[in-house]
Structure 1
């Protein structure tokens, strides 16, 4: 046997694919496709019927520039890009700090669900009066309760512990329980609507809910050159999703407003602190002035000289202005030194140096940016470290500027003092008391003007605090689309339809790809075009009516064997001796139908008035006796081969009453050495003697793959009918029969395909085995 036999696959010889045949091959299973499509469409309908509807809610906001607020854009705006960093604003919008505020504002760590027959859907609120007792911050893990509303009361079940709380009325207010909430009916009218329903209450930790909300909300910029942001959230409840987005925008706006109010609040605090000291100093000056006048009996002083007084007054005004600036500079410098945490500084308190005012403004902006970045990122964040360094640099610059400014003022004051001393010579006649009184008046005036200035700045800061501009402009409040984004019916139905076609196609494709059985004549011709196929026997469902016992039958089975008997004549060699023609029926393995075909072929030949002898030469597994209801141990071929005194004619049987020209020689007793008996010469003698008495000799031989019985007597045949069975015979076994024919081990071989159309499925297994057992006759 060729070593390549076991690995040869019949499909290896296929070079071309007949698309029409392949299509017909799949369309044969159209009920599978229809059933699968209908099944998946029904499944899609049920899924769409009970799947939760997910809606998309969105809102749009414009981030306002702090330097612009709500003012209309100017011509300069067209040529100046906004300094808003949308990426930072997006991070702040979805920061845990903002989400925590939203969760607390809406109490999102408590969620409600209504349990239906098939699905459980989320609802915004319970149709009951609900009061939460447990503090949100005390919830560290998920706690769930199931509420069954019955006609006679309430049943509350702790899902984790399965503890049941029963109430005889529709309220828990009058019962002493350790439940973390209280519920009761809102009104008698609502009782009818909720009886028989089941609700779920879930308590979750604020942290987990905030983190979940953070992951759920999407923020994206609208366009590359725009300051607009789009906020998106998906959920089952439209109302709840809209509340979340609107609350998120409010909290973000409040956070921005709070940052802008920090400067005003710090200015107010600074001024309030200075008021305490100024009031004490003014009171002290007033008391000193009063005491000075009383002790010196001074009521009024007449000016000495108009010129001297004017020069002195002018000098005093300049000195007053410089001392005023020195005082403000000292106050601001002390505040900056005492400000160890680098907090905000008061702005616009009267310093006349524009560079210092610009530095104060830049310093306060840097502090606000630093605090904002710290709230959304860690201390090791490069952006945060950069902001901290910027604050420290500005603080150092401001310190140096104040020192320089103070030095300049001090130098100016010394110059003015020197001038005043020169002017004092011109008014030396003015009593010393007048000088002292003027000093007191000057100090009083300085403190009063400073007090009034701080009072004015305090009012300005209070006004700025009250009218702080918003940090965002809401372009669109939360809106929810009318149609759910999930599930999408057209996609689900299209997927179901496509799946209904692809699933059976894929299964069939795998079945066909893994199929190793032959199914008809085409499979044989693909392997061997030299050996003819002379017959195709249809599959017979009724196993009891498989014998062609009526010569006049017009059944499909009878016609197929008549066609086979006619085709057999074409392959038989032409002889002039008028002796019987010997036809062998064999197969590769057991179960391919050689006995079945042998009997019916012999009957088909007998029905045309030919004398036919059917010999059961399968001595190992005889089956002919089962079709004629004869005893298996009746004398037959084995008895003749073994016993030289036994006449084979004594073993002939008439198995079919309507076929008088049909004789059967059974196999006889099963011998221990069939091969030895078949080669002892008596089988050849039997064939030669029978040729003189019959027109056809049909020999039912043993399968060829495991035993050599058929090959030992194959030279006596005029033709060899080689049986293969559709949906049963392996394609690679054909190579073996082709090899037997090509090597001459079998003479004049022709194929017959048995059980054609037995099954539309190409998925029969491999469990028939290669053993040569004793069982089925087909």
Structure 2
């Protein structure tokens, strides 16, 4: 029967996590959740009310392929893939050089802010006429001025030095000052729009502003097979953001156009320089021809013999072509050797060598690519070094090709001259004057043809320079969203609700996690389901009337001890021939309420007309006398244990008038050797004799973990009530009591939890707060 009763008190089904119980555990603190949620929502509202509105501005551009329509279709064309490296274009767009140009064009190193009651927001421009007096490059560090507009005029304050300047008539032009700007009212602006307003004028270095703009602008490709780029910037002022994006597109487009125009401009400059030289040579040849005719009295020279003349004409044409090519080669070689400024070479000047022309075109492209990389990545970048190496290699290839081509021309020219000598022998009859005159004409024709060729190339380069195609096509100009992207009310309120719930939950979770105190029956059953919990004593806020003095009391305290007394009967073993039952009340440490419980338990048993004896066996720290207002030194158990002639019945006290069947034996004088007295046999004799006189003997013993007194007399108990106090007893201490029970050092043990809160006590389905429907005691 004892095992069956024990099983009734173990509540094995509660060994696993009780989700409902955990929820109730947190819901006890619902006011904190409500308060945290209210604070979070109010904070979210204030944040949304005064946080700056951030808008996203974007634009779309298409990068144009320079070679589109000029090259033979390749595999990239067949598979609809672009030859444009968008990553390079993105790096160029976001390069410091481009950003610096945008900053200079829009004067972004001078920014304006409007001061509000709560927040200060950026604006695109002042609602006043503003003229900057300081040069942007002279700004070495950031500084700011506050401009206050009132009825009397302007008040300008240097925010760094806090020095103020007053200007009347709402203009700074009529006063001498050292401010870096002038400002006055606009004719188109109503004074009421700016009256009593404050503005911040901030000046920053060009470099600092350009780097800041570089970090703000984001460029990304649209799709994997597209030539489109999206430019994005976020800011408070939509007007300012749109100006920045549009200007950035214009600057990038102009930069690409300038790169392509640079080649054509170099070609035009080269040809113009050659025109001056050729014009002088043509004038000199024409004068020589005129002088030759005058000196030799030549008016018209008869043609040569038909065969010899045809051969000579053919030979001279070939000689003319060779000398023409040789002259162009020498000119290009001289230009290549003298060119140190930009490294660009004139393209397509008439050389009849496709390899050299291709090398020159590739060389110019490599130079432009090197300059772009150098501007965007810096001179020490590995990509720049590689590009410079490519330029040098191409330049060396051009030199080698020109030398080879010149050698070929010289060899051909020598062969042709040798052949001309043969022709000269055939036409030896031709006067020397005619031969000399033909030589002069040949030189004149060479120079004229070269002049015309260069003139044609100049016109082609000039046309290309004038009609250079743009670098990009603007698909969408800068557009700003109608609603801000930050802050977002839905996300902010959702975050506030989540934070309002999680913060108190987290705090409570940490409190519960670091809480090592016992709080209720579930803490005991989790540790040991084999030891029953037979009672929970409620925590009384009042400190008086805590003793069960009236047998008819119907208070929550009285009912809890009645339940405890009833449950104690169930755990007591049934033995024939014995009348009295011995019940020990002990605990792990001092202060857990064992004296308080043992006293009230004995009174509860006495209230059902049972004879009860309460023995104060805590000889080291007796406390029973404090509840019955008796002298601590009154003779009691220690006197009986020490004196064999002392009768224990002489120390009996009837401390409660309404409990005639209740008697108390105090601890008596505090002895120096309590353990020796408890084991001298007198205490066992007292218990055996008391069993004959009383139905129940309740023994208030010493704490088990502090002294061994209780262990020495534990075998005399029929049942041991082990006290644990809610919010006081450490959970780890319960392991000690469990070990005592499992090792058999404590006999027939059961737990009683003291000082359980009304909202936490639910012993056997009862809540002490309801008082079973009875009113207070009368």
TM-score for both structures, normalised by structure 2: 0.82
Cα 1:254–1:574 shift into 2, 3 Å: closer
Say whether 1:167 aligns with 2:166. yes
In structure 2, the partner of 1:111 is: 111
Which runs of structure 2 are paired with 1:366-385 in the superposition (5 Å)? 366-377=366-377, 378=379, 380-381=382-383, 383-385=386-388
In structure 1, the partner of 2:538 is: 538
CA contact (8 A) 1:29 1:760 kept: no
Which runs of structure 2 are paired with 1:285-300 in the superposition (5 Å)? 285-288=285-288, 300=299
In structure 1, the partner of 2:192 is: 192
- What is the deviation of 1:717? 4.0
- What is the deviation of 1:583? 3.0
In structure 2, the partner of 1:51 is: 51
CA contact (8 A) 1:325 1:409 kept: no
CA contact (8 A) 1:267 1:461 kept: yes
In structure 1, the partner of 2:275 is: 275
CA contact (8 A) 1:520 1:726 kept: yes
In structure 2, the partner of 1:65 is: 65
- What is the deviation of 1:268? 1.5
Cα 1:14–1:358 shift into 2, 3 Å: same
User: Aligned match of 1:400 in 400, 403, 420?
Assistant: 403
CA contact (8 A) 1:583 1:699 kept: yes
Say whether 1:254 aligns with 2:254. yes
In structure 2, the partner of 1:5 is: none
Say whether 1:626 aligns with 2:626. yes
In structure 1, the partner of 2:478 is: 478
SS in 2 for 1:721: strand
Point out the more displaced range, 414-423 or 161-170. Answer: 414-423
In structure 1, the partner of 2:551 is: 551
- What is the deviation of 1:595? 1.8
- Could you tell me how far apart the structure 2 residues matched to 1:332 and 1:757 are? 104
Cα 1:345–1:402 shift into 2, 3 Å: farther
- Could you tell me how far apart the structure 1 residues matched to 2:594 and 2:518 are? 17
Cα 1:50–1:630 shift into 2, 3 Å: farther
1:257-281 residue CA offsets vs partner (Å, 9 max, x unmatched): 1121122111211122122223333
In structure 2, the partner of 1:772 is: none
- Could you tell me how far apart the structure 1 residues matched to 2:29 and 2:740 are? 37
1:158-205 residue CA offsets vs partner (Å, 9 max, x unmatched): 44x443223254544445444433344435955434445444343333
Unaligned runs of 5+ in 1: 1-9, 762-778
Cα 1:574–1:267 shift into 2, 3 Å: closer
CA contact (8 A) 2:304 2:427 kept: no
- Could you tell me how far apart the structure 2 residues matched to 1:225 and 1:625 are? 95
- What is the deviation of 1:706? 1.0
- Could you tell me how far apart the structure 2 residues matched to 1:352 and 1:551 are? 131
User: Aligned match of 2:390 in 387, 394, 400?
Assistant: 387
SS in 1 for 2:724: strand
- Could you tell me how far apart the structure 2 residues matched to 1:584 and 1:651 are? 20
- Could you tell me how far apart the structure 2 residues matched to 1:699 and 1:553 are? 24
Which runs of structure 2 are paired with 1:33-432 in the superposition (5 Å)? 33-68=33-68, 77-78=77-78, 82-149=82-149, 152-159=152-159, 161-169=160-168, 170-186=170-186, 189=189, 191-288=191-288, 300-301=299-300, 303=302, 311=310, 323-339=323-339, 343-377=343-377, 378=379, 380-381=382-383, 383-400=386-403, 402-404=405-407, 406-407=409-410, 410-411=413-414, 414=417, 417-418=420-421, 421=424, 425=428, 427-428=430-431
In structure 1, the partner of 2:705 is: 705
In structure 2, the partner of 1:776 is: none
1:623-655 residue CA offsets vs partner (Å, 9 max, x unmatched): 333334455455555566567787766655554
- What is the deviation of 1:214? 3.0
Cα 1:692–1:456 shift into 2, 3 Å: closer
CA contact (8 A) 1:64 1:70 kept: no
In structure 2, the partner of 1:590 is: 590
- Could you tell me how far apart the structure 2 residues matched to 1:75 and 1:672 are? 107
In structure 1, the partner of 2:751 is: 751
- Could you tell me how far apart the structure 1 residues matched to 2:272 and 2:524 are? 108
- Could you tell me how far apart the structure 2 residues matched to 1:594 and 1:722 are? 8
- What is the deviation of 1:600? 1.7
- Could you tell me how far apart the structure 2 residues matched to 1:418 and 1:529 are? 129
SS in 2 for 1:102: helix
Which runs of structure 2 are paired with 1:596-611 in the superposition (5 Å)? 596-611=596-611
- What is the deviation of 1:462? 1.9
1:743-765 residue CA offsets vs partner (Å, 9 max, x unmatched): 5544443322222236769xxxx
Which runs of structure 2 are paired with 1:478-497 in the superposition (5 Å)? 478-497=478-497
Unaligned runs of 5+ in 2: 1-9, 762-778
SS in 2 for 1:66: coil
SS in 1 for 2:546: coil
1:387-416 residue CA offsets vs partner (Å, 9 max, x unmatched): 224422442244135404632663476267
- Could you tell me how far apart the structure 2 residues matched to 1:462 and 1:232 are? 37
- Could you tell me how far apart the structure 2 residues matched to 1:71 and 1:326 are? 30
Number of residues paired by the alignment? 745
Cα 1:402–1:80 shift into 2, 3 Å: farther
SS in 2 for 1:53: coil
CA contact (8 A) 2:231 2:245 kept: yes
In structure 1, the partner of 2:776 is: none
Cα 1:604–1:710 shift into 2, 3 Å: same
- Could you tell me how far apart the structure 1 residues matched to 2:529 and 2:442 are? 131
- What is the deviation of 1:500? 4.1
Point out the more displaced range, 631-640 or 559-568. Answer: 631-640
In structure 1, the partner of 2:570 is: 570
- What is the deviation of 1:463? 1.9
SS in 1 for 2:66: coil
- Could you tell me how far apart the structure 1 residues matched to 2:738 and 2:314 are? 134
Point out the more displaced range, 593-602 or 211-220. Answer: 211-220
Point out the more displaced range, 632-641 or 693-702. Answer: 632-641
- Could you tell me how far apart the structure 2 residues matched to 1:333 and 1:533 are? 109
